[in-house]
Amino acid sequence: MPSLLGHAALDLHRPAEAEAAYKQIIANPGIDPVSPFWPLAHLGLARACALEGRKDDSRKEYEIFFNLWKDADKDRTVLQQAHLEYD
């Protein structure tokens, strides 16, 4: 599963592998329009870009994630963590 591969690659500090896994999800969002995997793939891609030092690409992906989750509960841990990373 690409989301698990992406997460594992980030944990191992392999941003290029993480980026490939998350781009696979983004390119193929599936049939579930409310699946959390697609927005979270943008978050993972933002983190991978940040690890590679690609600040502009990272910020763009964070902004996509924030836009997709604009109606989410503000107290969600993943959203709070993403905002801390973005700042």
Task: Show me where the domains of the chain are located.
Answer: 2-86
Cα 15 versus chain centre, distance: 12
pLDDT computed for residue 33 by the predictor: 67
Distance between CA atoms of residues 25 and 6, nearest Å:
10
2-86 has CATH 2.20.28 classification: no
Q: Each residue of 20-33: pLDDT tens digit?
A: 999 998 888 776 76
Distance between CA atoms of residues 30 and 36, nearest Å:
11
Distance between CA atoms of residues 50 and 65, nearest Å:
14
pTM: 0.89
